[in-house]
Structure formats: C-alpha cells, structure tokens
Amino acid sequence: RRTGLLERELRQAFAADQFTVHYQPQRELKTGQIVGMEALLRWRHPRRGMVRPTEFIGLAEDIGLIAPLTERVLARACRQQWLWRHTAMPTLRLSVNLSPIQFRESSVVTLIETTLAETGIEPSCLEIELTEGVMLENSEIALANLRHLNRLGVRFSLDDFGTGYSSLAYVKRLPVHRLKIDQSFVHRLGQDGQDEAIVRAIIDLGHSLDLKVTAEGVETSDQLERITELGCDEAQGDLISPPLPADAFQVLFASQPLSIAVRG
Ligand code: C2E
Ligand code: MG
Ligand code: MG
C-alpha cells in the first residue's frame, strides 16, 4: 500500500515537475581546484521536503519512470552548463548518473546525442556514472551502447566501485575512464586497516589500467589526507561540499582560492 501511494506521488511529481538537480563539486587533489561536478536528482516533495533519490530511484525504475526522469536531469544539467558558459564559470566536467536498465535500449544513445547537440556541450565534458549492474542483463546490447557513446567522446566512470562482484572483469570489458571508490571504504579509512588496503588497491588498480580514481564520501580532513597520500586523483564529499543548488555551486566555485599550480 505504501508503495502504491509512493507510486502515485511519484507520477504526480513527474507531471508537476517537482524535481530539481543539485551539484556536488569534485576536487582535483594535485591542484586543489574544483574540476567537475556530479548532478544529483532531488525531489522537492510538497509536504516531506527534499526526498533523496535512494528512496525513489528503485520504484522509478520499476514503473518505467527512470528514463524520462534521467532525461530531465541530463537536459537540466546540460542547460545549466550552457548558461554557465556565458558567465564567469569555466567549463567543468559534468557527471550524470544513469540507471543500468537504461542501457538495455539504444534509445539511451539517442537521448545523450540529442541532449549534447541541443546544448552544445562537448561530449568529452560529459561523464556518465555507471554501476556494475549495467552488465547484468543483455550485456551485449549494453556494451554496444557504451561503445557507441564512447566513440562520440562521452566518458564513463564506475560508481560505488568495490561493492559489486567480479569488478575486475567489468573494468577490463567496459570502456571506463574512472573508478569511484565507494564511500563505505572511504568512511572507515584510519579506523579499519582492511578498508585502507582496499582503497589503496583500488587506486593502484585504477592507475595501472590508466584510469583516474575519485574517492567518494570524503567527510573528514584525515580521510582527505589519507587518499591524497595514497595518490588518489580526485575527492568528492561533504568535507569539500555537499550537493548544492546551481547558484550556490557558482558562489562556492567563485570563492575558491586561485589555482596553486600551473594548469595544463
Ligand atoms: P551516488 O551516485 O553514489 O552519489 C553519491 C551519493 O552520496 C549522493 O547521495 C550524495 O549526496 C552522497 N554523498 C556525497 N558526499 C557525501 C558524504 O560526504 N557523506 C555521505 N554520507 N554522503 C555523501 P544521493 O544524492 O542521495 O544519491 C543517492 C544515489 O541515487 C546516487 O548515488 C545515485 O546512485 C542515485 N542517483 C542520484 N541522482 C540520480 C539520477 O539523476 N539518476 C539516477 N539513475 N540515479 C541517481
Ligand atoms: Mg554517482
Ligand atoms: Mg557512489
């Protein structure tokens, strides 16, 4: 019954466009600069306030709403990039989460191609965050879609890395360009030697395969220090900033200290 209510509310929310996108900065550790952002879906519920995607993404997938919802997130985030280009903001990398089930159909390719064309975003500025789930079903079709997008210049990262299974086979098979270390390992850095070993192993694995590595869920300066020592490339987490509405993201970006290193 609860699901029935949520389903009804979700459909209404979609029709009434109660969704918005927040942006969480991603910091390059070598330079200390914000080099990218992850677009994160938010539902502004009229009574419950901001609802986190974990509470409704699964249902949205089940009732066929995930593709239209993602289409909105992607369009909104790309339009925001386009707006920023006409202000003092430089072009930063944009990461968008796509649901694995969207890769079962080739329409995902059309969606991304069309959005890029309409907003004039460089394909190389877009990074799609995937989870290993993308390969669970119809993996040949999913792989063909990923490769097609990859040929256009779109990049892929593996999200929540380390939590799934047979990660290594996927890393080899998928055209990915970055690993995102799952927050659960990052949170226990400094408390749990095994988690530290896992973080180190993911960073080393990534680098030996010529991939970039981002640590997710960085909350403390100790965690930041540790991932920096371990050679991680980028950090994302509440320590740097929680996800922000577009205008607040712009303020944060403008307030960061000037680059401490010469940028290539
Ligand atoms: P994710 O892609 O792994 O995103 C990271 C999540 O960690 C976000 O949760 C973010 O707000 C949260 N987070 C960031 N820094 C910290 C930190 O320092 N500490 C803690 N405790 N959490 C942190 P959020 O926004 O609730 O999103 C949850 C998941 O929902 C995302 O996980 C992603 O899988 C999914 N999602 C979000 N937006 C979309 C979307 O537009 N489409 C699809 N298909 N999935 C989405
Ligand atoms: Mg993500
Ligand atoms: Mg994640």
Ligand 1, atom nearest to 180 Cα: 3
Q: pTM of this prediction?
A: 0.95
Ligand 1, atom nearest to 22 Cα: 25
What per-residue confidence (pLDDT) applies to 169?
81
- Rounded Cα distance between 158 and 172, Å, is 12
Percent of residues, the chain, with pLDDT higher than 70: 95
- Rounded Cα distance between 191 and 184, Å, is 12
Q: Does residue 68 register a pLDDT over 50?
A: yes
- Residue pair 218/196 in contact (Cβ under 8 Å)? The answer is no
Which ligand is the nearest neighbour of the Cα of 164?
3
- Best probe residue, ligand 1, of 97, 103, 187, 241 (max atoms within 8 Å of C-beta): 97
pLDDT in tens, 40-54: 999 999 999 999 999
- Single-letter code of the amino acid located at 25: P
- Residue pair 190/168 in contact (Cβ under 8 Å)? The answer is no
Could you tell me the distance, in angstroms and rounded to a whole number, from the CA of residue 54 to the centre of ligand 1? Answer: 8
Ligand 1 pocket, residue 206 CB under 6 Å:
no
- Single-letter code of the amino acid located at 241: S
Percent of residues, the chain, with pLDDT higher than 90: 82
What per-residue confidence (pLDDT) applies to 42?
96
Mean per-residue pLDDT, 80-93: 90
Which ligand is the nearest neighbour of the Cα of 186?
1
pLDDT band at 196 (very low <50, low <70, confident <90, very high): very high
pLDDT in tens, 52-62: 999 999 999 99
Q: Is 218 helix (H, G, I), strand (E, B) or coil?
A: coil
Instruction: Please measure the distance between the N-terminal and C-terminal CA atoms of the chain and give it in whole angstroms.
Output: 56
Which ligand is the nearest neighbour of the Cα of 161?
3
Ligand 1 pocket, residue 54 CB under 6 Å:
yes
Ligand 1, atom nearest to 243 Cα: 11
Ligand 1, atom nearest to 159 Cα: 3
